[in-house]
Amino acid sequence: MELDRPGRVLAALSVLPALAVAGWLLAGLPLLLLGRFAPAPAALLGLPVIALLCWAGTRRLPGVTAAPWQVAGVVAVALGSGVFNLVMHSEQLAVRRDPATYAQYAAWIAGHGSLPIPTQAEAFGGPDPALDFAGVGFYAVDGGVVPQFMPGPPLLFAIGNWLGAPFAVPAVLGALAVLTVAGVTARLAGSRWAVVAAGAFAVCMPILYTSRTTFSEIPSLILLFGGLALTHDALTSPAASARDKWMKGLPAGLVFGLAVLVRVDGLRDVLPVLAFAGVLIAMRRFRRPEGVVGPPLLAGLLVGAGIGLLAAYTLARPYLSYLSGSVRPLLAICAGVLVLTAAGTAAAPALARLRLPGWAPGAGAGLVVLVMAALYARPWFQTVTRVPQTPEDARTAQMIAQIQRANGLPMDGHRLYFENSLHWVAWYVGPPAILLATVAAALLVRRMLRDGASFEWLLPLAVVGWTTVTTLLRPEITPDHPWAARRLVPVVIPGMILLAAYGLARLRRLSDRHGPLVLRWGMAAAVLLVIVPPAVTSIGTAFTPVERGEAAAVAAMCAKLPPDASVLSVERVTGERFTQVVRGMCGRPAALVERGGAGDLAPEDEVRRLVERVRAAGRVPVVLGAEAGQVSPYGPATQVLKLVTRQDERSLLEAPDGTWSLRMNVWMAVA
């Protein structure tokens, strides 16, 4: 059947973001590894790769049927989301949490095109045990410093630096995520519900939060849900030849695999894709037409994930070492899934002869409901705690205790609040959406186990179910909100909204039996119950941008530093926040002076010794601190940064509904 034009537009718009992101990452990573990541080579290599992937991914699109108003509605929501988040963008440059690390990472590679970041120890008279060139978010390596995270997101954010709009890319990616989620919804629940899903997704607080600054979650979402859309298209495409199926399945697997280049957690998220590819390969042995997609899907997945692991090993090895306690078990699980997939594929003929007992469909549906009920009731029978085992754990416990004090709660830094994880989801998408999603998932599982129907839902349900349960069991994040909400962004929230949209579609069929009045008003109420709760939760923070003014404040600070300065931060917080800012954005060598104890201030005699080393190297020694009294022993104190702005609220037991004040001061002395 010939695809109608609005349906073709919607189908294409929803996969182009993932294909474009994948193409840019494929081109940008080799350039970064070669130290040649710059606008001209990135464009010359990246644009053809993007064009090739987009051509392959949008050929012979399957039959998505959509009305013009539905396509226009989705595009309007996406554009509105992008514009709104751009206007309300955040400016997180001082390294306090992950967004600033990503921003500094992007700024460095945009300006220098290579890693590691040189320490420029010669500007301080050579290496010295009292000099710390790394700090929060950055690790010291031989002769340099490497950022903490995977290179995928900074490769995307660097585009904004090149275009002179460093805070625009997150909002653009957020708008593309709206298109992606709407496209998957149109394919699986019907285009009628694409606008509803786009609206509920766009107004959700965690989506607003991560679309305004440099987080990794939105790019990850685009790749994961873009991979779902591309896999659906490959399975349902009218393509007749095996070659055409390869050209559809390979980009789908590649997009999935490249999620590892964006977040290490992507390795966990794509595990169901590995198993699904094995299922397709097994189906190929029975000459099922869907089976042709299995080999290219698996090949693309392995190539994409391999690229991500290569980048992790070459550019983020200290980060992998830090995460080794969770990465090694995850790699073992991946190996186990690969072995089981191979064994299952080999044993497919024998397995095909097995028949499920009659009670299996009902038991499967009941298990879905039971798991969700247990997650919701978890706070009533479990309190998740962790006794600090490492210095990082101890700092986290100290931070949690400080947040508890600010929230007026009993102080117990060992508490992690992970037992509330499904309640977090309820804050942001609303209980009606969770209820609809749970019923929808149960119905789908029942249909699949009963008669093998709804095969197109097998991979989406596996990805959403696996990642949702594992994420909610162990979010592994400091539990203050909205910060912790970012864990829900790549899969949990869009997955809930996708399933809720399918639940609305099933509800509409049920309402259709009771006449037009019940259908019209009943469905209107159901749609409002999906869209209104997330919008209400978001109102408290949606119209207040955080950390605004940092860009201008940093630029003013940089202008006040002598051109030939070597900068020594003598106070802990100042050093953690601004060492990479001074090095990467001001272009001056910078280091934090080791404190030699538990205090926040470096010993004066050590600072004076380092000042003399800087002077002997022929440079101007500059000392930075948070207060005038911290730098005045070395010369006249001058305030080079003074900023009063807003920061995220830190809420532990309820959805955030406002922001907190934030003050930052930096004082300088030319020693």
Residues 577 and 95: beta-carbon distance below 8 Å: yes
- Residues 174-199: what's their mean pLDDT? 96
Q: What angle do CA 106, 661, 416 make, to 5 degrees?
A: 75
Cis peptide before 482 (omega within 30 of 0): yes
Phi, psi of 140 (to 5 degrees): -80, 135
Shared-domain flag, residues 335 and 476: yes
pLDDT digits (tens, 9 = 90+) for 450-479: 887 788 999 999 999 999 999 999 999 999
- Residues 318-332: what's their mean pLDDT? 81
Q: Which residues contact 267 (CB under 8 A, 6 or more apart)?
A: 260, 305, 308, 309, 330, 331, 334
Shared-domain flag, residues 196 and 344: yes
What count of Cα atoms within 13 Å lies in the side-chain half-sphere of residue 624?
31
Query: When comparing pLDDT for 358 and 106, which is higher?
Result: 106
Q: Is the pLDDT of residue 268 over 80?
A: yes
Q: Is residue 407 part of a domain?
A: no
pLDDT digits (tens, 9 = 90+) for 115-128: 999 999 999 999 99
Q: Is the pLDDT of residue 2 over 50?
A: no
Q: What is the DSSP code (8-state) at residue 618?
A: T
Rounded Cα gap, residues 655 and 506, in angstroms: 30
Of 511, 526, 542, which residue is a domain's last?
Answer: 542
Shared-domain flag, residues 45 and 136: no
Q: Is residue 529 part of a domain?
A: yes
Could you tell me the residue range of the domain that residue 615 belongs to?
Answer: 117-145+546-670
Q: Is residue 482 part of a domain?
A: yes
3-state SS assignment for residue 641: strand
DSSP per position, 120-136: -GGGGTS--TTEE---T
Give the pLDDT confidence score for residue 519 in this predicted structure.
Answer: 65
Shared-domain flag, residues 328 and 466: yes
Give the pLDDT confidence score for residue 514 in this predicted structure.
Answer: 61
Q: Where are the alpha helices (DSSP H) in 430-571?
A: 431-451, 458-473, 492-511, 516-542, 550-560
Of 511, 542, 573, which residue is a domain's last?
Answer: 542
- Residues 164-175: what's their mean pLDDT? 96
Q: Is residue 49 part of a domain?
A: yes
Q: Is the pLDDT of residue 83 over 60?
A: yes
Of 479, 514, 542, which residue is a domain's last?
Answer: 542
Shared-domain flag, residues 274 and 341: yes
Shared-domain flag, residues 82 and 141: no
Shared-domain flag, residues 289 and 177: yes
Shared-domain flag, residues 645 and 556: yes
Residues 207 and 535: beta-carbon distance below 8 Å: no
Shared-domain flag, residues 266 and 121: no
- Give me the chain's average pLDDT, please: 92
Give the pLDDT confidence score for residue 23 in this predicted structure.
Answer: 97
- Residues 569-584: what's their mean pLDDT? 95
Q: What is the DSSP code (8-state) at residue 107?
A: H
Query: When comparing pLDDT for 371 and 360, which is higher?
Result: 371
Rounded Cα gap, residues 574 and 178, in angstroms: 38
Give the pLDDT confidence score for residue 64 in this predicted structure.
Answer: 78
Shared-domain flag, residues 325 and 469: yes
Q: Is residue 386 part of a domain?
A: no
Give the pLDDT confidence score for residue 63 in this predicted structure.
Answer: 64
pTM value is: 0.95
Q: Is residue 383 part of a domain?
A: no
Shared-domain flag, residues 172 and 299: yes
Instruction: State the pLDDT confidence band at 512, using cuts at 50, 70 and 90.
Output: low
Instruction: State the pLDDT confidence band at 241, using cuts at 50, 70 and 90.
Output: low
Q: Is residue 156 part of a domain?
A: no
Shared-domain flag, residues 444 and 525: yes
- How many domains does the structure of the chain reveal? 2
